Amino acid sequence: MSVDLATVKRVARLARIAVTEEDANRMVGELNGILGFVEQLGEVDVAGVEPMTSVTPMDMRKRTDNVTDGDKAADIVANAPSTDYNFFLVPKVVE
Amino acid sequence: MTELTSLTIAEAREKLKAKEFTSVELTESYLKAIDAANQVFNAYVAVTPEKALEMAKASDARRATGEVGALEGIPLGIKDLFATRDVHTQACSHILDGFKPKYESTVSQNLWDDGAVMLGKLNMDEFAMGSSNETSHYGAVINPWKAAGSNQQLVPGGSSGGSAAAVAAHLCAGATATDTGGSIRQPAAFTGTVGIKPTYGRCSRWGTVAFASSLDQAGPIARDVRDAAIMLKSMASVDAKDTTSVDLPVPDYEAALGQSLKGMKIGIPKEYRVDGMPEEIEALWQKGIAWLKDAGAEIVDITLPHTKYALPAYYIVAPAEASSNLARYDGVRYGLRVDGKDIVDMYEKTRAAGFGTEVKRRIMIGTYVLSAGYYDAYYLQAQKVRTLIKRDFELVFDAGVDAILTPATPSSAFGVADEDLASDPVKMYLNDIFTVTVNMAGLPGIAVPAGLDHKGLPLGLQLIGKPFEEETLFRTAHVIEQAAGRFTPAKWW
């Protein structure tokens, strides 16, 4: 499988990365290089093989449903580019 | 008097105990060395002298009261991937500009709880994506090693290039690092240092900037096997904040050093003999085999038939997980924001400006292989192949093999800004051909220096172990170290 310019632009849109025409053109070649490299996986016989979900056989550890953290709104917004009254500020989303 | 910075962690530990010097004096020596040489190597992206001296003073005060931790007063460097409270933490990416977390990673907290001192944050490939440390927003790191008779600048490997260079140049006593596909072991091999990636789950991933969550593991880079054992003992822990951390006691790894290899079975996988591999790597491998045989181990030929598929499977799984993990960098909660005409425009412009070329490339690959219609062909197939890679190892271990010996890298360190590698991303990826299988199977792997090539550059061997049998790796690596000796670059800086 290989990607064309339109696919690269669509994927960039999905990934929320703005690309210029020049970036997109360069990426077509690079991505096809990588996809060409991974193509060889197709030759492996995986009939009856389960996909790996965890490298170590383990049951998810669970904890009791208690509040263990909180009351630190100022810490949470401390690194935000734009805040007001401990809220994150973003451009208008709803008209 | 020998320079304090030339001491290993074990040596400094004894001398601190004997009150030959204080942690403040040791820390000052390192800060002076960093001051003099960091501009040459670019190993640190942030030095924290005030914090270092404050921690050293506190350590000396604790020692005076008899309270002595396993790393009491030892100055360490921390890879920029680990969150350190109120200190530069950016995974060496532009998109995390100015980020100073209000929390501490579990691994670094474990080190501070054992008395260690932080010197600063170490350079790395952006988001740990790279094999040469050249994708860092803060520029390349220079390897303290140079080829004989050459002035060419060499890379220290990656992604933990700052960690490896700082340890090799004695700009810290030891360093934290992380390994997703070889990022501890390849730079260790390129700099004549020892690096271990422990079993997946041995160290908590909490507070470590995520790249590929099913592969990422923290581990140390140190000057010798003993120092690596001391550091891993402190770094490893079960952690309520990371459900994939494992609730198994952390052994005293140092106690494994010096134990006999009698009765041990070492596997030699034929699939690691790759086309175009320099003859001296093969010769080094044979030397390693001879050393282990001399030490009483039995050498057996083994086969790991799916080895060649590990790297292509990795370049589906790792970017897929990265594209998901890196979705959080959107210009809202931390780091860089580039304003746009609406919120989507802001996201897209922020991410375009904040991520470097390699990171964007991997996010794009990951987004593509997870997108509708391609998931089964790529991601699901790769996860099935991953099961087969792990099964290869299980069959070998079930047949009685205790550890596997391989080369660590297919070459010694290469030049900065190598045009051949820069023009083809896949060529750069091939650096991890011997290390990536270990991450795919979640196993522990250690890189230990074993010799110099014809250019006078260090080469390493890798040992792969059974899950949670890091002690076997330390014990075996120590035998190689005893036979090969230690390797320190001639000081030119």
CB B125 within 8 A of CB B134: yes
Of the candidates A51, A54, A92, the beta carbon closest to that of B384 is on A51
Mean pLDDT over residues B384-390, rounded? 97
CATH number for the domain running over A5-41:
1.10.20
Amino acid at B71: L
Give domain limits for chain A: 5-41
Distance CA B127, CA B118 (A): 21
Mean pLDDT over residues B292-300, rounded? 98
| Per-residue confidence (pLDDT) for residue A36, from 0 to 100 | 94
Domains of chain B as residue ranges with CATH: 1-489 (3.90.1300.10)
B61, pLDDT greater than 70: yes
* pLDDT tens-digit map of B77-111: 999 999 999 999 999 999 999 999 999 999 999 99
* pLDDT tens-digit map of B179-232: 999 999 999 999 999 999 999 999 999 999 999 999 999 999 999 999 999 999
For residues B479 and A61, the model is more confident at B479
Mean pLDDT over residues B326-339, rounded? 97
B1, pLDDT greater than 90: no
B-facing residues of A in 10-39 (CB < 8 A) are 11-19, 27, 30-31, 33-35, 37-39
Going by C-alpha positions, the residue among B411, B404, B436 that lies closest to residue B300 is: B404
A-facing residues of B in 375-404 (CB < 8 A) are 377-378, 380-388, 390
Helices (H) and strands (E) in chain A, counts: 3, 2
| Per-residue confidence (pLDDT) for residue B370, from 0 to 100 | 96
CB B125 within 8 A of CB B92: yes
| Per-residue confidence (pLDDT) for residue B143, from 0 to 100 | 98
Cα nearest neighbour of B365 on chain A:
A31
Distance CA B165, CA B9 (A): 17
| Per-residue confidence (pLDDT) for residue B145, from 0 to 100 | 98
Q: In whole numbers, what is the pLDDT of chain B averaged over residues?
A: 97
Q: How would you list the strands of the sheet with B265-269, edge to edge?
A: B44-47, B117-122, B75-79, B174-179, B217-222, B194-197, B445-452, B458-465, B403-407, B265-269, B298-302
Report the percent of chain B where pLDDT is more than 90: 96
Q: How far is A85 from chain B (nearest CA, A)?
A: 14
Mean pLDDT over residues A21-50, rounded? 95
Amino acid at B400: G
Tell me which residues of B are annotated as active site.
Answer: 79, 159, 183
B430 to chain A, any CB pair closer than 8 A? The answer is: no
A-facing residues of B in 214-243 (CB < 8 A) are 214, 240, 243
* pLDDT tens-digit map of B239-265: 999 999 999 999 999 999 999 999 999
Distance CA B276, CA B270 (A): 15
Report the percent of chain B where pLDDT is more than 70: 100
Q: How far is CA B27 from CA A61, B49, B227, B382, in A?
A: 40, 9, 17, 47
ipTM here: 0.96
Which tokens in the block code for residue B443?
Answer: 């196993």
B352, pLDDT greater than 60: yes
Report the percent of chain A where pLDDT is more than 90: 79
* pLDDT tens-digit map of B127-167: 999 999 999 999 999 999 999 999 999 999 999 999 999 99
Please, which pLDDT band fits residue B424 given cuts at 50, 70 and 90?
Answer: confident
